[in-house]
Amino acid sequence: MRQLDVKNAFLHGFLKEEVFMEQPPGFINEDLPNHVCKLNRSLYGLKQAPRAWFDRLSQCLLHLGFYCGKADSSLFILHKGLEVIYLPNGLFVSKKKYTRDLLEHTKMMECTHINTPKALKPITTPSDEQPIDPTRYSHSWSSKRQPTVSRSSTEVEYRSLASSATEITWLTFLLHDIGIQLREPPQLLCDNLNALHMTVNLVFPARSKHIELDHHFVREKVASGVLITCFLPSSLQVVDIFTKALPKTSFQVFRFKLGVHKLPLTSLRGADKGNSNSSNIQSMTKQNLYVRS
């Protein structure tokens, strides 16, 4: 199962607080028109509704054998237990129950068995579709104005490194929860050499000793070997498209890496009609119209 959708999800949660509502139109009690209703379950529009639904879903998943991840409370993981039989000459390990449950769920209990788990000559059909990029949606990003005043660009970059280091640490814990172990320490890229030097240099320069201690979190991670900071040339820094005025070539390269393309004029309403809209469409060719793919 990759995804599911629960109909009227917020109506399944039970309320822990006492919440009252007026009698809805069409359901007013003629004998008690001034009375109110006490809600036992959540309704759409209540601020308690998302939490009530999450509690209800969590209870069901935990009852089914899932457990909650340590890095993300909304991540639930299920590991099928192994059946271990001790023999005189070793151990016999199997997943008999899980296999039978899987066959019953897919209605394949009566199917003809095969001698090998994989066909010798698998039958495949050619496909002209573009392969799915597994890293397309595996991005973590944010854009936020720093709440403090920085005295130099180095200080700004160093604070950003600290924020990125905390995000990488959390992602490492998250991958560990789902059974993925990193073979090498993750790399944190930055285009400011002075900020990179501060992550490995134990000496506090006079211009950086006023930085709050919590921002030196990245230095601790680098010293322990769980994080590596590397230099990234400005010519490869895609985020500059949002913060700097760039030459045309650099702008087009970064725009392509972001997956942003020009909007075809043929997709505009009235583009194929010879009416007064054509003059407006022609004037729009001088503008850069972009959509996110």
Q: Model-level pTM?
A: 0.48
251 phi, psi to nearest 5 deg: -60, -45
CA 173, CA 221: separation in Å to the nearest integer?
Answer: 14
Query: Which stretches of 145-272 are DSSP H helices?
Result: 153-177, 193-200, 217-224, 240-243, 248-257
Length of the chain: 293
Q: Would you kindly state where each structural domain of the chain is located, as residue ranges? A: 9-64, 153-232
pLDDT (tens place) for every residue of the chain, 293 residues total = 667 888 888 999 898 888 898 888 888 888 888 899 888 889 898 898 999 999 999 998 888 888 888 888 888 887 776 777 888 888 888 877 778 888 888 888 888 777 665 565 665 666 666 766 666 666 676 666 776 677 777 778 888 888 888 888 888 888 888 888 888 888 888 888 888 888 887 655 666 666 766 677 788 888 888 888 888 887 888 878 887 788 888 888 888 888 776 655 554 445 455 444 444 444 443 344 444 43
Q: Which residues pair with 261 in a beta bridge?
A: 291
